[in-house]
Structure 1
Amino acid sequence: MEKNSASHSKEVNTAAEESRIHDENVKSDLESRYECPICLTWLQDPVLTKCGHKFCYKCIFTWMEKEGPRCPVDDQTLDEERDLFRDRCTTREMSQQRTNCPYNKSGCTAKLFLVDMENHVKECTYKENPCEKQNILCPFQKLGCFEVFSTEELSLCHLDTCINKHLTMMYNVLTKLPLHQSEINPVAIESKLWNPPPKDTSKGISQNNLPSEECQQLLQNLYERIVVLEQENRELSIIVSNQKNQLTTLQTLIPFNHEEMLLHNCNGIYIWRLKLFEEKLVTMINDPLKMFYSPGFYTSTNGYKLCARINISSKNSDFLSLLLHIMKSENDDALDWPFNGMMYFVLIHPNNADKDIREITSSQPDLEAFKKPTNELNKRSFGYTEFVKLSDLNDFLQNESLIFRIEVKVSDKFKISTI
């Protein structure tokens, strides 16, 4: 009697060891995200909680019955109806995972999908105990129980001790049964759940063809997430567009600011390059009132602001006039008026400096041209109305450009002595 008891105990331990080896082999080949935190083996019928953790369907409901409605990982409160969802995405991913045969240590090199494991175990020739006469599979193997037993007694003992486990498996399968015979194919069911509704809704949709409440909730969650992502994408697009506009503005302002800085710090010496001068000259000849102005330049950083002007002479149309205007600036209130200084006008010859046309003159305080401007540009100008003959200008052209050098020097009215 004692011998039979010992033999039975040995057989039970052998079956348990086989089950443990099976679980450990499967677990070792799967990623940790496919492990159930409760049973520490691969997920069976995965369930996703509202707090983002995954458990076996049986494990989480058994846990909540014994330990209360709380998550085993972060202890958050869970509601069975609202906070637990079937994780079909993980189920699909796991169905594509290959794992080693439980008897790989005995020499089996097969790597199988989990759904094919049960059929392979039946026929595997590398079982740990080759002397076994038979391998009895659990009657609930098609529901997901892959236990293998060497004797009928071990199989019956397993059925007696795992009633709750088998009932849970049956319940899970029953809840997934299709409503119509035509929907038996699980792939067809899955595609119906994810396909968009038909455009022609005039015929209506049968109530029996509607997806389950869990699927509807999943679709609603996905739709809400898509809306959020589209909104975020729209906001990012607006930000990128604004940044592009700001960059374009900065790229436009940089040369302008650089030129402004040069005009502020030229110390009254300005080189005026008139590009495409021949076209400008034709325009002025056709329209005697046409004038061209240079940018405003300063006698010093905080000094007077002036600009040069050219036009066909009103006294003699054979000559080109070169004159100066005092411009309104931010420094005017701190400057002495009328303007007092010297002005130099030079037309640069491109090849011979001795041929440069040079003129020098000084300001005349009584003239309106040197008084503090009240408009952006003083209406009166000062300079030479007959500076150079039009017929001589061809000698001064270089690359279709005419170059003037204008210098304005302010006279010192006060001498400050230092002690």
Structure 2
Amino acid sequence: MAVQEARGGCAQESSIPSLEGDKALEARFECPICLQCLSEPVLTPCGHRFCNACIHKWLQREGGVCPVDNMPLNAEKDLFPDNFTRREIQELDVKKPQLLNAAYSKLQVSMQEKKVDAKAQEASNLWEPDSKGHMNGDVQQSWQGLLRSLYERIVVLEQRNREQDIQLENMKRQLFANIDQVSQDLALRYCNGTYLWTVTQISKKLVSMATNPTRSMFYSPGFYTAPNGYRFCARLNLSPNDHSHIALHIHLMRTGHDDSLSWPFTGRITFMLVNATDSSRHICDTVMSRPELHAFKRPLRDMNLLGFGYTEFVSVHDLLISTQGFVTPDDSILIKLHILSV
């Protein structure tokens, strides 16, 4: 590979150009917004000077208040050309130090990206001229005061950044939670009537059912036969007739488009308890709906109280035997439901 020759001779040590001999800008000639020498200066009724362009942009963005003391300002009535100050500036031979000018530029970009709060405005006013309009102390102390003011402003902005980082992280968590919810809702709506219901912690649920068999019931999420079709959910509980068996039923649920559907529901329904080790041992049965039953009439509430299915779908004993293969190692079972509208 060819090596390109470096331009400008050999690399060498270089110091920052000295600031000695540069004439300092008086604070009264500095715009409090851009921190540069006033350009086309204007004067406000509250006694503050700004660049004409800076104060107009500020008033448009911040709602019509002075950036120094928050006094109300009207861009059309309260801004007066300061010709005297403009002539004074024209007579000055002001040199802009390179290092500070670069710092000003970076700070100005940061200010444009972030709305400066009252604390940052207060920090920007820490460098004040004396009563005669001259800088306090010698030039060295004045630059140190200005740098201290800039440092304090940067601290305020860093604090704002940390707060915004926290807010952004909270918004990201909320966004991801919303995305997960939307994904689940879409999966339920576009499953075409086939839903795989993983019932977790089945041993704990069976204990709850045995403790209170008439009230301990577990429901699946509502799923659709089509994107704008019928909506069903499944119910799992102990059989009210024989507590040694588990009942499995489906319930019609109300949707926002029930007016467009035909009632009562007619279709084919398949119940399946999946065997995780041997597909030939699935417990499965398919039946047709019975339109004369109330379970298939249009829901008048969120869910029809009457369901349809098997009061004794599987015995608890057969379900829990490890050799049967229905309960997975993570203590869950899988129920497959398929509902086809005809």
TM-score (norm 2): 0.59
- How far off its partner does 1:234 sit? 5.3
Aligned equivalents of 2:172 and 2:88: distance in 1?
A: 59
**Pairing 1:288–2:273 present:** no
1:90 aligns with 2:124: no
Gaps of 5+ in 2: 1-13, 31-35, 38-86, 96-128
Q: Which residue of 1 aligns with 2:333?
A: 402
Map of 2:305 onto structure 1? 379
Partners of 1:311 and 1:320 within 8 A in 2: yes
1:372–1:234 Cα change, 3 Å: farther
Within 2, Cα distance between the matches of 1:243 and 1:328?
Answer: 37
Report 1:62-73 matches (<5 A). 70-73=91-94
SS at match of 2:135: strand
Deviation above 6 Å: which 4+ runs of structure 1?
A: 221-225
CA distance in 2, matches of 1:33, 1:83: 26
**Pair 1:275 & 2:205 matched:** no
Partner Cα distance (1:405, 1:380) in 2 = 21
Unmatched runs of 5 consecutive residues or more in structure 1: 1-28, 36-41, 55-66, 94-193, 195-217, 412-419
Provide the rounded CA distance (Å) in 1 between the counterparts of 2:15 and 2:26.
21
Q: Against the structure 1 CA distance between its residues 402 and 234, is the aligned structure 2 distance closer, same or farther, given a 3 Å change threshold? A: same
How far did residue 341 of structure 1 move?
0.8
Does residue 262 of the first structure (1) align with residue 187 of the second (2)? yes
Q: CA deviation at 1:246?
A: 0.8
Aligned AA for 2:256?
Answer: E
Distance 1:231 1:333, change over 3 A: farther
- Please name the residue that 1:340 is paired with: 266
Q: Distance in 1 between matches of 2:286 and 2:209?
A: 25
Alpha-carbon contact 2:189-2:223 (below 8 Å) kept:
yes
Query: What is the rounded CA distance, in whole Å, between the counterparts of 1:83 and 1:338 in structure 2?
Result: 89
Per-residue CA distance 1:62-101 (angstroms, 9 max, x = gap) = xxxxx96742249xxxx996543156463698xxxxxxxx
Alpha-carbon displacement from aligned partner over 1:195-221 (angstroms, at most 9, x marks no partner) = xxxxxxxxxxxxxxxxxxxxxxx69x9
- CA RMSD, Structure 1 to Structure 2 (Å): 3.4
Structure 2 residue aligned with 1:364, among 290, 297, 310? 290
- Does residue 329 (structure 1) correspond to residue 255 (structure 2)? The answer is yes
Per-residue CA distance 1:317-336 (angstroms, 9 max, x = gap): 12110000111122322211
User: How many percent identity over aligned positions?
Assistant: 29
Q: CA deviation at 1:343?
A: 0.4
Alpha-carbon distance change, 229 to 68 in structure 1, aligned in 2, over 3 angstroms? closer
The alpha-carbon deviation at position 257 of structure 1 amounts to: 2.0
Three-state SS of the structure 2 residue aligned to 1:326 is: strand
- Structure 1 position 347, deviation (Å): 1.0
Question: Greater relative contact order: 1 or 2 (C-alpha under 8 angstroms, separation 6 or more)?
Answer: 2
3-state SS of the aligned residue for 2:335? strand
User: Is the CA contact (8 Å cut-off) linking 2:272 and 2:336 kept in structure 1?
Assistant: yes
Q: Contact 2:189/2:224 (CA < 8 Å) preserved in 1?
A: yes
Give the letter for the 2:19 counterpart.
Y
Per-residue displacement from partner, 1:41-61 (whole Å, max 9, x unpaired)?
x35xx644224689xxxxxxx
* Aligned residue among 236, 243, 247 for 2:168: 243
Partner Cα separation in structure 2 for residue 336 and residue 372 of structure 1: 9
Query: Which residue matches 2:26?
Result: 49
- 1:48, 1:86 within 8 Å by CA — same for their partners in 2? no
What letter corresponds to residue 317 of structure 1 in structure 2?
Answer: H
Residue type of the partner of 2:168? Answer: Q
- The one-letter amino acid paired with 2:339 is V
